[in-house]
Structure 1
Amino acid sequence: MFSEKTVLALAILSLCGLGHADGNITSDTYFYGDSPPVYPSPNGTGNGDWAASYQKAAALVAQMTLDEKNNLTFGIETSGTGCVGAIGAISRLGFPGMCLQDAGNGVREADFVNSYPSGLHVGASWNKSLAHDRGWYMAGEFRTKGVNIALGPVVAPMGRLTTNGRNWEGVASDPYLSGVLAARTVDGMQGQGVISSVKHFIGYEQELYRNPTVNSDNQTVESISSNIDDKTMHEAYLWPFQDALKAGAGNIMCSYNRINNSHACQNSKTLNGLLKTELGFEGFVVTDWVGQHSGVSSALAGLDMAMPTGETYWGTYLKEAVNNGSVPLSRLDDMATRIIATWYQMGQDSPNYPALGVGMPYNISEPHKIVNALTPEAKPVLFEGAVEGHVLVKNVNNALPLKKPQLLSVFGWDAVAPVSYIPNNILASDPWEEGYEPALFELDGDVIINEPYDYQVAFNGTLSVGGGSGANAGPYVSAPLDALQQRAYEDNTVIMWDTGKNPNKLGVMEASDACLVFINAFASEGLDRSGTYDSYSDTLVAKVAETCPNTVVVVHNAGTRLVESFAENPNVTAIVFGHLPGQDSGRAITALLYGDENFSGKLPYTVAKNETDYPAYWHSYAVSPFSLFPQSNFTEGVLLDYKWFDAKNITPRYEFGFGLSYSNFSFSNLHVSSVQDGIATYPSGVIEQGGQVDLWDTLVKVTATVQNSGSKSGSEVAQLYLGIPGGPVRQLRGFDKVRIPAGRSAQVSFSLTRRDLSTWDVTAQKWKLQSGNYKVYVGSSSRNLPLKTTLKITTDSS
C-alpha cells in the first residue's frame, strides 16, 4: 500500500516541506492519491422495488425550498425528543421528521424495552431464522418508541483485530457468516417499517485513533487509516455490506476511520464508487456521530446526512456552497431525495407510524410518559436467542448435563446480578467494582487508560451486554446464580456460592458434585481490550480446580477469549463460551447446564493457543514517520481468522465453527450439481441495490445427510466450505442449522451463487468465475469436514 512512497518518504520530506527534521510527516498532502477519486456522486435512480418510493420522493422534494432541502441533511437539537439524533419536520408538506436511535441489540436509554442477545451472540447461534425474528421484534420496539432509524446491525468491525473493543457488536470474524445473518436481521427490522442503519462503512477495525486527537505537543493526530487493497476490500470487508444491501437496507453509516488515508465520511471511492455505483445503493449515507471532517468535500464524496448536528461543516455553510456553485444543486436534491425515498420505502409516511421519539424520554430518571414497547410474543425469541449463542467447547467425563446434584458450588463475580441496572447508566458494562475510579481521560469519545489496570474483567456482576453505544437494559436481567438457585429449589439441591473477587479466600466445597465458575471478558466502544485473558479470572479457575475435580467454567465474553491456562486442566471438565446473551442470560445457561436445552452454538471466530497466532492481535500505533497520520496496513489481505490459521498451518485451541452438543452427529451422502460448460466468466446483469443482479443467480446445489446418533434431540450446523482456485485453503460459503430427533437424520442443502464461486478481478473490476477445480467440503466446523469432493467449472474464457 505504501511500498514506493514509504521508501522515498524520508528523502523527499525536506524538499517538499512536508515534515520536520526528525522525519515525521506533518501534512496530509503526502497521502493524496492513495484513495482514488470517484466523482460525481451518482444520483439515486429508484431501480428495482425502489421505483415507487423515488417517484413520491421526487414529487415531495420538488415542493421544498432550498432551506427545507438543506435542513434534511443535518441533525437538530434533540433534547425534546430523547433521540440520539433527529431530523426536523417540514410541517407544511406533512413530513414529521426522523428519529435516529442506538443500537444493534435493542433500544438504548429507554425503559419498557428488551435487551436482546448481542451481535456476537447471534453469530454464535448460526441461526438464520432467529436472526430474522430478533430483528423483527427488536424493530417493533424501536417503532413503538417513535424511532425511524435503528442504528444497527453492525458488520464492521468484523474482528480483524482480536482485541478490538467493539467486536461484540459485530456478528463474526468471517464475511460470509456476517453477511448472511446481517441480511436476515435487516429483513426482519425493515419488515416492521424501521430503517436499518448498517454500520460502520468501512474497514473500522480498531478503537485507538478512531477519532482525531491532540498529542502532548498540541499537534493533531489524525484518525487511523485502514489501508486495504482492492481485492481484500471486495472479498472481505465489503462482502457483508453487499448482503445487507441486497436485503434492502435503507441506510449506511460511514465510519470514523480513514480508508487509504481518506476519511470514511468523505471518501469518494468507497461512497460514490463502491457503495452508490458498484452496489447501486438507493438509500442514504449518515455519519457516525461527529464523524464529519469537511463540508464541500464530504457532500461531493457522497455523504447525505451529518449527525448529531451539521452546523460545524454544513447547515448555513452547505446552503452557501450550493448558492455559490461549490456544491451543485443536483447534489443537494439527491441528498434530500435519497432521505425522503427511504422514508417512503419503509412506509413511514403512514399515519399509523408513531410520533417522533414518543417513547424516548430525554432524561429517563425524571418523570415522563411511559410507552410500553414490550410484547409477550418476543419472549421465545429472547430466550432461544440467548440459548443458541452459547458454545460448549469441552465436556469430558459426562460433566454436563448436571443430574440433580446433591451439592452445587458457584464461584465468580460474573454469577450475580450487576450492582446497577438502569437504562442511562453504563449498566453491567462497567468493568470496575462500585467505588473504584481508575484514572481516565477522554478525547472525542475515545477513552484512554492512564494507569496500569487490567480492565477487561467486569467485577460488578454478570456481563449480558458490552459497553458503549450498544449497551442497553431490559425489563430485568436473569443472573446465573438467581436461575441456579431456583433450580436448586426445584431439585432439592444444596447450593453454596462465593462471588467475591479474592481467589485466595475461597471456601471450596470438596464434597460438591460440581463447581461452576463464572468469569467474563469485558469490552467496550472507545477502547481496545488489554488482552484476551486476565490473571484475575484465570487464577480463580485454578484455585477452584485445585480442590474440585468437576469444575465447569462459563465465560461471558465480549470478544475472543483465550483459555490456555485451564483448557487442559483435568479437573476442568467443561468449558462454555457464553458470549453476551442479553436479559435471559441466567435462565438460558441454567437450561443448558441441566440439559433442558441442548447446546447448538458454534464459534464465530477462532480461539488460538497463543496471542501471537493471530495476524492482527493488537492495534496499530502512530509511529515515525507517520506519527501524526497513524497507519494500519491490512497486509494479511483476505486471510482473516481461520483462513490465516489454515494458510500458516497453525493449530488452534478451538477452530472457527466448532461447538459440541449433548448429541453426536455424522455426515454422509454428499451430492453436488454440475455447472454447464462455457458459462460466462463475468456477470452481465443490470445493477440494482446489491450489485449486478446475476451475481445472485444460483449456479450449484449441494446436499448432504446429517445423522443424529445420540440419545438426545439436538440441532447441528452443517457447514460448507469452498477451496476456490487461487484463494484461501477454504472459506465458508454455506451453512444450514437443522434440528434432528435422536436416532433420526435430515437432509441439508446449500445454494451457491455466482458471487459465492467467484473471486474479485482487480483488472476487470468485476467478479470473475474461474475455470478449474473447486474443492467442496461439508462438515461440522472449519477443520472437521468429513465430506469432500471436487466441482469442475469451465467458463467461456478457457
Structure 2
Amino acid sequence: MTLPALADLTLEEKAALTSGASFWFTEAVERVGIPPVMLTDGPHGLRKQAGSGDHLGIGDSVPATCFPPAVGLGSSWDVGLLRRVGEALGVEASIENVGVLLGPGVNIKRSPLCGRNFEYFSEDPIVSGELGAAIVRGIQSQGVGASLKHFAANNQEEDRMRASSDVDARPLREIYLRGFQRVVEDAQPWTVMCSYNRINGVYASEDPWLLTSVLRDEWGFEGLVVSDWGAVNERVAGIAAGLDLEMPSSGGITDAQIVRAVTDGVLPESVLDTAAGRVIDLVRKVTDAAGTATGPLDVDAHHALARDAAARSIVLLKNDSVEGAPVLPLAKDARLAVIGEFAAAPRYQGAGSSMINPTRLDTALDAIRQAASSEVAFSRGFSTAVDVAQEEEVSLRTEAVAVAAAAEVAVVFLGVPARLESEGYDRDDIDLPVNQLALLEAVLAVNPRTVVVLSNGGVVALPFAEAVPAILEGWLLGQAGGGATADILFGDVNPSAKLTETIPLRLEDTPAFLDFPGEFSHVRYSEGLFVGYRWYDARRMPVAFPFGHGLSYTTFTYGDCFAAITPSGDVEVRVTVTNSGSRAGREVVQGYTALPGSAIQRAPRELKAFASVELDPGETREVVLAVRRSDLAYWDRRVDGWVVEGGRYAVEVGASSRDIRSRTVIDIAGDDLVVPVSRSTSLGEALRHPIAGPLLQQAMGRMMGGGDASGSIMPEGVDMMRILEAFPLGRIGLMGALGGGDPVTTEDIDRLIDAANGGAPTR
C-alpha cells in the first residue's frame, strides 16, 4: 500500500498519529488515506475484545486458542515449538485483522513473588532471549507484528506505575537487558513496549538512554516504540526520548501538548517527524501483510498444537519407586483416585490483561477418565473459595481420604488459586494454601502411591517433596492442559520439560528477599548479578529443585564434551548423548561457562547455550551447543562497554545447573582493553596498564633510589607492595621517597597520565 509522505501531513495530523485513537486502535488520517491499525493483547493467545475495550480483561473477547503462558512454554526449552506457537498466534491475529499482538514478555523472574511471573519465561536472560526471539519470528512470519515487552527492568507489580528499579550497570546490562537485546538483534520485532516503571529514577517512557541510545543506537532496533497502556508520564519528554506511540488515546490532550511544544520551539518538528514516520512505517507493514492468513480458523488443529505445547511444558520433578517400581507412568487399568478441585476446574492461565477466552477447555479429570480403562474415582478434596466453613473443609478432606484409601494410586491436584496470582499485584508468599497441604498429608497417610500435580503461575514451596514419590510441575497449561496432563501421567508422552527457574526451599532463601518490593517507590536490586541459580550456586545453598532440572521416563548418558573456537570467534561445544533407557525421549542439553580466577565478580557458572535432542532407546547422537562470543562478555563500567575477559574458561555440559555430566576447558583470547588513566587510578591498576606500567616502574625506581622496601619497619612477611597498590596515583607524592631516592612530584604524575592516555590528559 502506498502511504503519503510526511510532507503531506499537517502538524496536527502528525501529532495525532503518535497517539491512539481509542483503546486498541491507532489514529487514522482519512484525508490522506492512512488507515488505523489494531493492537491487542497476547502474549499466549489473542485477546481481541468485542465492543469497548479495557486493559485488565474485564470485557468479553472473541474466542481464541489459549496456549500455555510463558511460565509453561519456557520450561519446554523448545525453540521450534515456540516458533510454531508464534505462527499460530499470528494466524489467529491475521484472521481477526489484528496488526500487532502485544507480546512476548521477556522480563527476568527476579523474585518468585512477582504477580506477573506467569507471563515471563525464565530467571536467565539467554533462555528468555532465545525463546522470545523464536515466538517473535513465528508471529511476524504471518504478517502480524510482535511487541516485545515490558522494556525494561519491570520485575514486580507492586507500585508498578511509579516504582524505580534501582540497579547497577552490570546487572542491568548482563541480566535485565540481555534478553531484550537478543530478541531485538535476532528477530527485529515490529514494536517494543516500554514499561510503567522508572529505571534508576527515570521513567522508561521518557528515558532517551534506554529508548534511543541503547535500543536503537547500540542494538539497531528499526521498529516502533509503543507505551504500555497508561505508561506515559510526560508526553513531550517521551517523544523526545524515543517513545513513538502513546496508547491508549488521551482524547487529544497529549496531541495538543506536542503541537504546542513544536510551535513554541521546545520540541524540534524533526523529532515529531521521526515518530510519525515510524507509525506510518508500522501501518505500511500491517496493511501490506493484511490477509496473510484467512479464516475460518482451524480450531481443532490449534487445539492439538496447544496440547502438544502443554505436554512439552510439564516438568517431572520427581518419580521415585514404591514397592520396586516408579510411580509414573500410570497403568491405564489401575484403580485411580483423582483428588483436587483443579482436576475438574482447571487453573490454566493467569489473571489480568492476558486472559484469553478459549475456544474450548479440557479438564484433567475428563481426559484421565477417557484414557483409563477402569473406573476413575474423584473427590474435590478442598475448596478454592475465599471463605469456606471449617465443617465443609473437614467433610471434603474426609471424603477424599476414603477415595484415596480405596485406590491403587492417588493423583492429587494442588495449586495456587487464581485470586492470588494476577497482573496488578504481587504474591504475599510462595506457600500452597493450608487446606491443600492438610489434604495431601491426610492422603499420604492412607496411600503412599501418591502423585502431586501442581497448577501455579509462579514457583511454590514444596515442604512435602521428600514424602511424595512423584511430582509434576504443571504450571499454567492453557486450554488443552487437561489432555496434556493425562498424556504425561499415562506415558503417552514422555516428559521432557525442565525448570527455567529455581524452586527454593523457602522464600527467605531467595535473592531479592530483603529488597522486594522496596519502599517509597524505590526498589534496590542489591543482589546484583546474582539472580536465580547464580545466587544459590554462589552461596552453595540447598534448593528444592535446581534450575534446568527435569526428569524423563527414560535415562540419558553423556559422553565427553569438546570445545573449539569457530572462525567467527564463537565457541562450539560438542557432546554425545545416548538414550540409555527403554523409551523414546527428548533431552535438553545445557551448556554453562565459568572463568576461574577472573578479575571481576562472576557467578560459579552461567548458562550460555542449550539444545535438545530426541532419541530412540539405545540411540546416540552428537549435540552441538553454539556459545556466542558476545555472550561471554561482561559489562565493564570503566569503559561503558562489553568486554570479553581472556583466560582459560571452564565449559560444563549438563542436565541441570547442578547435574553437570561433562567438563572441558578452552583458552579464549580477551578483548584489547585500555582503561583511561587518571589521578584516581590506583598504583596497582597503573602498574598493569600497558603504557603507564613501564613509565611508573621507572618513576618508582627513582623514588626507591634503586632499592626496595625491604628495610621497612613493617613486620616480617607483610607485603608492602600490596599496601602501596591501593594508593591513587594522585596521592603517591604523599609517600615521599621510600628508598632515599627522588620524590615523585605532581607534575611527574600528570606527565605520566598524559603519556598513558596518548596526550589526552584525564584528571
| TM-score scaled by length of structure 2 | 0.80
Specify every segment of 5 or more residues in structure 2 that has no aligned partner in the other structure, as ranges: 50-60, 384-392, 674-763
Q: Distance in 1 between matches of 2:168 and 2:515?
A: 19
Shift of 1:528: 0.4
Change in 2 beyond 3 A, CA 1:209/1:633: same
Q: Distance in 1 between matches of 2:236 and 2:452?
A: 55
Which residue type is aligned with residue 374 of structure 2? N
Provide the residue aligned with 2:592 in structure 1: 721
Equivalent residue of 1:315, what SS? helix
String of CA shifts for 1:341-389, please: whole Å, max 9, x gaps.
2343x453356469xxxx9xxxxxxxxxxx7534544344212101010
Q: Does the 8 A contact of 2:143 with 2:290 survive in 1?
A: no
Provide the residue aligned with 1:290 in structure 2: 230
| 2:351 corresponds to 1:486 | no
Change in 2 beyond 3 A, CA 1:617/1:471: farther
Q: Distance in 2 between matches of 1:714 and 1:772?
A: 37
Q: Distance in 1 between matches of 2:612 and 2:85?
A: 17
Provide the residue aligned with 1:736 in structure 2: 611
Which residue type is aligned with residue 201 of structure 1? F
Q: Which of 383, 398, 402 does residue 330 from structure 2 map onto?
A: 402
Change in 2 beyond 3 A, CA 1:376/1:494: closer
Provide the residue aligned with 2:100 in structure 1: 149
Which residue type is aligned with residue 24 of structure 2? G
Task: Point out the more displaced range, 596-605 or 332-341.
Answer: 332-341
Shift of 1:85: 1.6
Q: Which of 415, 434, 438 does residue 343 from structure 2 map onto?
A: 415
Q: Does the 8 A contact of 2:349 with 2:476 survive in 1?
A: yes
Q: Distance in 2 between matches of 1:377 and 1:638?
A: 42
String of CA shifts for 1:592-615, please: whole Å, max 9, x gaps.
100110000000100111211101
String of CA shifts for 1:554-574, please: whole Å, max 9, x gaps.
00110111112x1111xx221
Q: Which of 752, 757, 766 does residue 627 from structure 2 map onto?
A: 752
Task: Point out the more displaced range, 236-245 or 68-77.
Answer: 68-77
| 2:531 corresponds to 1:640 | yes
Q: Does the 8 A contact of 2:152 with 2:176 survive in 1?
A: yes
- 1:310-709 equivalent positions in 2, closer than 5 A: 310-311=250-251, 314-344=254-284, 346=285, 348-350=287-289, 352=291, 372-397=296-321, 398-416=326-344, 461-488=345-372, 491-501=373-383, 502=393, 504-508=397-401, 509=403, 510-521=405-416, 522=418, 523-534=421-432, 535-564=434-463, 566-569=464-467, 572-617=468-513, 620=516, 623=519, 627=520, 630-674=521-565, 697=568, 699-709=570-580
Q: Distance in 2 between matches of 1:327 and 1:732?
A: 45
Q: Does the 8 A contact of 2:40 with 2:100 survive in 1?
A: yes
Provide the residue aligned with 1:70 in structure 2: 15
Equivalent residue of 2:25, what SS? strand
Change in 2 beyond 3 A, CA 1:312/1:96: closer
Q: Does the 8 A contact of 1:112 with 1:373 survive in 2?
A: no
Provide the residue aligned with 1:363 in structure 2: none
- 1:298-309 equivalent positions in 2, closer than 5 A: 298-309=238-249
Which residue type is aligned with residue 429 of structure 2? G
Provide the residue aligned with 1:30 in structure 2: none
Q: Distance in 1 between matches of 2:566 and 2:25?
A: 51
Provide the residue aligned with 1:766 in structure 2: 641
Which residue type is aligned with residue 512 of structure 1? A
Quote the RMSD (CA, aligned, Å): 2.0
Q: Which of 70, 95, 120 does residue 34 from structure 2 map onto?
A: 95
- 1:265-280 equivalent positions in 2, closer than 5 A: 265-280=205-220
Shift of 1:313: 5.4
Q: Distance in 2 between matches of 1:152 and 1:350?
A: 19
Change in 2 beyond 3 A, CA 1:723/1:308: same
Q: Distance in 1 between matches of 2:501 and 2:481?
A: 21
Q: Distance in 2 between matches of 1:645 and 1:618?
A: 15
| TM-score scaled by length of structure 1 | 0.77
Equivalent residue of 1:604, what SS? coil
String of CA shifts for 1:705-744, please: whole Å, max 9, x gaps.
1110000000000000111443211111111111100111
Change in 2 beyond 3 A, CA 1:621/1:754: closer
Q: Does the 8 A contact of 2:41 with 2:354 survive in 1?
A: yes
Q: Which of 159, 164, 167 does residue 117 from structure 2 map onto?
A: 167
Shift of 1:258: 0.8
Task: Point out the more displaced range, 755-764 or 392-401.
Answer: 755-764
Q: Distance in 1 between matches of 2:88 and 2:566?
A: 40
Change in 2 beyond 3 A, CA 1:285/1:182: same
Higher relative contact order (CA 8 A, sep 6+): 1
Q: Distance in 2 between matches of 1:764 and 1:615?
A: 28
Q: Distance in 1 between matches of 2:148 and 2:173?
A: 17
Q: Does the 8 A contact of 1:163 with 1:617 survive in 2?
A: no
Q: Distance in 1 between matches of 2:513 and 2:116?
A: 14
- 1:258-269 equivalent positions in 2, closer than 5 A: 258-269=198-209
String of CA shifts for 1:536-568, please: whole Å, max 9, x gaps.
22222112111111110000110111112x111
Shift of 1:470: 1.1
Shift of 1:67: 2.3
Change in 2 beyond 3 A, CA 1:313/1:204: farther
Q: Distance in 2 between matches of 1:637 and 1:311?
A: 41
| 2:87 corresponds to 1:133 | no
Shift of 1:796: 6.0
Which entry has the higher C-alpha Rg, 1 or 2?
Answer: 2
Provide the residue aligned with 1:124 in structure 2: 75
Q: Distance in 1 between matches of 2:135 and 2:94?
A: 15
Shift of 1:618: 7.1
Q: Distance in 2 between matches of 1:406 and 1:560?
A: 31
Q: Which has the higher helix share?
A: 2
Provide the residue aligned with 2:164 in structure 1: 225
Q: Does the 8 A contact of 1:415 with 1:481 survive in 2?
A: yes
Which residue type is aligned with residue 615 of structure 2? I
Shift of 1:494: 4.1
Provide the residue aligned with 2:679 in structure 1: none
Change in 2 beyond 3 A, CA 1:621/1:352: closer
Which residue type is aligned with residue 217 of structure 2? T
Change in 2 beyond 3 A, CA 1:598/1:796: closer
Provide the residue aligned with 1:204 in structure 2: 154
String of CA shifts for 1:157-211, please: whole Å, max 9, x gaps.
x210210000000111111100000000111111111111110011111111112
Equivalent residue of 2:480, what SS? helix
Change in 2 beyond 3 A, CA 1:270/1:372: same
Q: Does the 8 A contact of 2:35 with 2:283 survive in 1?
A: no
Give aligned-pair identity as a percent. Answer: 33
String of CA shifts for 1:102-150, please: whole Å, max 9, x gaps.
0101011433421111011111001000011101101110111111111
Which residue type is aligned with residue 424 of structure 2? G
Equivalent residue of 1:536, what SS? helix
Q: Does the 8 A contact of 2:570 with 2:628 survive in 1?
A: yes
Specify every segment of 5 or more residues in structure 1 that has no aligned partner in the other structure, as ranges: 1-52, 78-83, 212-222, 360-370, 417-460, 677-696
Which residue type is aligned with residue 327 of structure 1? L
Shift of 1:500: 4.0
Q: Does the 8 A contact of 1:645 with 1:651 survive in 2?
A: yes
